Amino acid sequence: MTLKSKVMLRAWTVLSKKSVVATSIATVALINISSAYASLPGIENFNTTALLQQQNVTITGTVTDETNQPMAGVSVTVRGTSNGVVTDGNGKYSLTVPNNATLTFALIGYQPQDLPASNGAVINVKLVPVQTNLDEVVVVGYGTQKRETLTGSISRVKGEDLTKNQAVNVTTSLAGRLPGLVVNQRNGVPGSEDLNIVIRGSSTFGNNNPLIVVDGVPRGTGILSTLNPQDIESITVLKDGSAAIYGARAANGVLLVTTKPGARGKTSYNFSYVYGITNPTKIPDMMDAALFSEVVNETYSYLGRAPYKSAAEIQKYRDGSDPILYPNTDWADVSLNRNTPQKRLNFQASGGSDKVRYLLSFGSASQGSNFKNQPYKYNQYNSRVRIDADLSQYLTVGANIAGVFTQRSAANGTDFSTTLQANPTLPAIYPNGLLAGGRFDNSPLLSDRRGYQQWKDDPITTTFTASFKVPHVNGLVLDASYNYDLRNQFQKNFSQPHYWHVYNPNTKNYDRIASTSPIQLTDRYDRWITTLTNVRLSYRTTIGKDHNIAAMVGAEQQRNSNTYASATRRNFLTGALPQISLGGTRPEDYGNAGNASAGAYNSYLGRFNYNYQSKYLLEFAFRSDGSTIFPTYNRYGFFPSASAGWVISEEDFMKPVQFVNTLKLRASYGELGNDQVGQFQFLQTFDFGNNYVFGGSTVPGIFSTVLSNPNIGWEVSKKLDFGLSATLFNRKLDVDITVFNQRRSNILRQRNLSVSAVNGFPKLPEENIGKVNTSGFEVDLTHRNKVGQVSYSVTANVAYAKSKIIFMDEVPPAFAYQANTGMPLGSGLYYKSDGIFNTQAELDSYPHVAAAKLGDVKVLDLNNDGKITGDDRYITNQSPTPLYVFGLNTSLQYKGFDLTLFFQGQADAFVNDAIVDEFGLEDLDNAPVYRATNRWTVNNKEGATMPRANNLLPGGATDFFLYDATFVRLRNAELGYTFSGDLMRKISVKGLRVFVNGTNLLTWAKQIKYRDPELANQSYLNYPPLKIVSFGVNLQF
């Protein structure tokens, strides 16, 4: 690093810290300052002529932009006053100010700068544009690139945006932030939210999960979800062929998560505390005892059985006259905790000298239970130490070590399904306060008596890096990294006999009933180890004036292993000591299990970049991946990509077009692989198990579960992207448009649909037989402006992706309307519904299945054979994967106030709610009022909009319950106030901000209104996502 650049760096650091104060956002600090590729904007010079006037001083100067063009209209004010002027057409200004004043230079679209007037009488200032997408330095695979020379389809979200979301699981905050990234939360169980991430929709029959790389190592959703959002510098998504640098695992896209480095300079401290109040977003309104009894009576009448409850009994449920024998229990109401607290605390220290930079971070999050008795709890402690040290002018080494310590507990058998489906005619709490058993003696209120499940999961990730600038060869750098991740999980499941009370109408006493289940304990210990070693040699140079060249080659090895052992003991004498050694002593009281697995990758990779005057851009990248998943003779796959860009705005003919700041066209093509299938499918293997008994003694058995496929190979994705990026209207508008087409072939899929079961094969192996095409587009718009004292920005993104099955191994369909081929992935097979059978005449005249009754869903006889059979089902083109996903982020600033509103949603996703279809079944499960309202009964025929109780399925699902899962959600809303002024300076506070935040505050759903629409093709029985209202404070000093 030259002396000049060091000076500039220091200046930049100072300036950016001030802007941190101004915007109160901790993470604006230098993006990747340590990166060799980062450009270093700065000010032109300081005129240090000292004019030590005690009173007023007249300051003059010129304000220029980054290309040294004079800037008109820049406001120059004395900070804290209304005293100010505006620069003229030549960028000049003149202003008389007190000697100790601070001048603020500001223009929309540029970073404001504060400079002390004592610096001189002439202060020339170069304003730097605020970071727009085009100026970002973007993390790409194995390096960084400036967005302006980027040729791939890559989106990025900054860490600070993620901190707006107050859910403990950071993955939930990605929804809607990155065009093309689909994140659906399938449940809200604290600490084990089931998050489904796909990029550009589904494009394979198999695993659609993207590769998640944290600090250069594939670390999966587990690590991503437990990251401290304050530690995240940025998240980049590689969506197109440029992901080929990740080879065999890149076909579903790659999520690159980068954690923050330490910042140079004096130590800065950042402290934040957020207190939140959580509630489930939506709990379905379930039937009360009277309605429930009426519905079951209807079922019984259809079955020819005597009523479940008499009219007199139903009246008692309704009027509540006998709460002991005829209670009306709202199980959700009695079982759920309202306003459960959630707390989050973060403390960071960052700083360093020229030679050493460090970041120390600690975070804790605790999430309480939305159930009474706290069966679900989650605590997470994050710690991270990152140090980068320049050992010499050539060698820099670093370590990034993070530990996450989590504790999660859950109840034995208490969840939303046991709560919502519980029979409302059963008592929960007797009027005297005693607890009743509930359905199957499984009342959620007994959860603290039944035992517990606990997980202590402590992943530790470590990364050690070294970067060596080869002496005497300018631009040649050798990078190496070694990563060792260790995750230990300890699990304890403890169940013990519990008791409850039952009112005995004969004796008028409350009998204490104890379950006979024995005391049982299972301890399980899991250990995962991932090691990854990476060596890269990179070279950058400029030939002549215009030919910029960069090249990188590297090698990488990864090894994963996993072992577990578990032990079970039953029939403990007492539940007081849940330790494994204290269980019963008979042979059947013991149990144990264990397993191990291992896998590895060996990879070679490279990238070559060329650009001419930063105008014509070219990139080639490749990876050769060897994986233990595939047989020796088919082990290595080669995955190349090429991309090109044309920065039209650099052309002379574009110079007169004033409203265009930058304009770039880009195209990319790449071949990527997907290997997310079971290991060793190329070998015929045998498992131990299926033991048998001879003469009363167990003998061992072995069996093969999967047939071998010796020819198994990679799934290949060929991706073609075209894109346009532009910055317009004096940088007030950023536009990014991408269209893409993906051809996925060799999709690993079981050929189970054309292979006769009579062959007797065990589970079939995956074979490279499927083909799916996906195409779509992404649009990302950002507008920023300042009106009066209000500055605002609006970012909108929408992505469309549609898949089409080109080939799958399906049963030769009897009718064209049953072909999956040509339809989107995930399309289901349904009977076509056509209302409800209302009259006997209607039933008699329509084809129907034998057991159909009045009140059942009428289905169409699609093949017109006069019978309803499986041949009358059709494949819908409506898939549960949304065609459109979108996000809209609005932020406003007015003086010290800032407001952020973030909306997110999806459209054209269709889910079959088979659970809400189930209604009035003999198993006495409760159902939502939604399903009961206006159902068909013998007294409500014509106007019925829902089928009868215990309705009959004609042999499979009907599209009657196929719902449009379109929704828009106010995912985050945050209002903050930043304190500034002399007082803050006096107490050495660089920034103090307080805020109130709402997460998942409002949801609008098109059709699914009885439950949270994001639970998608799951059911209303899942733990819903949480609505969180938080209050927080952020302090920097």
Question: Contacts with another protein in 381-420 (CB under 8 A)?
Answer: 391-392, 394-395, 397
| SS3 state at 4 | helix
Taken in order 1006, 1012, 1015, 1018, the sign of the CA dihedral is negative
Of 577, 598, 938, 1002, which lies in the binding site for another protein, with binding defined by CB under 8 A? 598
Residue closer to another protein (CB basis): 751 or 1006: 751
Of 757, 787, 841, 987, which lies in the binding site for another protein, with binding defined by CB under 8 A? 757
Q: d(Cα 191, Cα 410) in Å, to the nearest integer?
A: 10
Find all residues with CB under 8 Å of 580, minimum gap 6, and list them: 521, 523, 567, 569
* Token reading at 811: 């049963």
Under the criterion CB under 8 A, does residue 474 sit at the interface with another protein?
no
| Cα dist from 862 to 251, 865, 957, whole Å | 39, 8, 15
Under the criterion CB under 8 A, does residue 473 sit at the interface with another protein?
no
| SS3 state at 44 | coil
Residue closer to another protein (CB basis): 649 or 750: 750
Of 851, 939, 942, 988, which lies in the binding site for another protein, with binding defined by CB under 8 A? 851
Residues 295-334 that bind another protein (CB under 8 A): 303-306, 310, 313, 325
Residues 1008-1037 that bind another protein (CB under 8 A): none
Residue 248 near residue 624, CB atoms below 8 Å = no
Residue closer to another protein (CB basis): 663 or 868: 868
Q: Which residues of 577-598 are buried (b: 16+ CB within 10 A; e: fewer)?
A: ebebeebbeeeeeeeeeeeeee
Q: Which residues of 508-547 are buried (b: 16+ CB within 10 A; e: fewer)?
A: eebeeeebeeebbbbbbebebebbbebebbbbbeeeeeee
DSSP category for residue 190? T
Of 72, 892, 924, 1001, which lies in the binding site for another protein, with binding defined by CB under 8 A? 924
Find the shortest distance in angstroms from Cβ 685 to another protein.
Answer: 4
| Residue among 982, 880, 1022, 853 at smallest CA distance from 304 | 853
Find the shortest distance in angstroms from Cβ 1011 to another protein.
Answer: 22
Of 26, 78, 764, 1015, which lies in the binding site for another protein, with binding defined by CB under 8 A? 764
Of 52, 758, 787, 816, which lies in the binding site for another protein, with binding defined by CB under 8 A? 758
DSSP category for residue 507? T
Region of 142-150, 608-616, 759-767, 927-935 interacting with another protein (CB under 8 A): 759-767
Residues 628-667 that bind another protein (CB under 8 A): 628, 635
Under the criterion CB under 8 A, does residue 593 sit at the interface with another protein?
no
Region of 68-76, 731-739, 900-908, 922-930 interacting with another protein (CB under 8 A): 922-930
Residue closer to another protein (CB basis): 55 or 632: 632
Residues 549-568 that bind another protein (CB under 8 A): 555, 557, 559
Residue closer to another protein (CB basis): 564 or 1037: 564
Give the count of residues interacting with another protein (CB under 8 A). 116
Q: Alpha helices of 575-665 — where are they, by DSSP H?
A: none
Under the criterion CB under 8 A, does residue 814 sit at the interface with another protein?
yes
Residue closer to another protein (CB basis): 680 or 846: 680
Of 5, 571, 877, 945, which lies in the binding site for another protein, with binding defined by CB under 8 A? 571
Q: Is 573 exposed, middle or buried (0-12, 13-18, 19+ CB in 10 A)?
A: exposed
| Residue among 1016, 1020, 999 at smallest CA distance from 367 | 999
Region of 58-66, 146-154, 620-628, 985-993 interacting with another protein (CB under 8 A): 620-628
Residues 690-749 that bind another protein (CB under 8 A): 690-704, 707-709
Find the shortest distance in angstroms from Cβ 515 to another protein.
Answer: 5
- Report the 10 Å Cβ neighbour count for 415: 19
| SS3 state at 131 | coil
Radius of gyration of the chain (CA): 32
Residues 193-222 that bind another protein (CB under 8 A): none
Find the shortest distance in angstroms from Cβ 16 to another protein.
Answer: 31
Residue 378 near residue 408, CB atoms below 8 Å = yes
Residues 496-525 that bind another protein (CB under 8 A): 502, 505-506, 511-518, 520
910 Cα distance to chain centroid: 21
Residue closer to another protein (CB basis): 750 or 795: 750
Of 3, 543, 841, 850, which lies in the binding site for another protein, with binding defined by CB under 8 A? 850
Of 55, 585, 756, 789, which lies in the binding site for another protein, with binding defined by CB under 8 A? 756
As beta bridge partners, residue 295 has none
Find the shortest distance in angstroms from Cβ 849 to another protein.
Answer: 8
Q: Alpha helices of 828-882 — where are they, by DSSP H?
A: 840-845
Residues 942-961 that bind another protein (CB under 8 A): 952, 955-956
Residue closer to another protein (CB basis): 506 or 658: 506
Under the criterion CB under 8 A, does residue 986 sit at the interface with another protein?
no
**DSSP of 148-185, one letter per residue?**
GG--S-EEEEEHHHHTT---SSGGGGGTTTSTTEEEEE
Residues 429-468 that bind another protein (CB under 8 A): 440-441, 466, 468
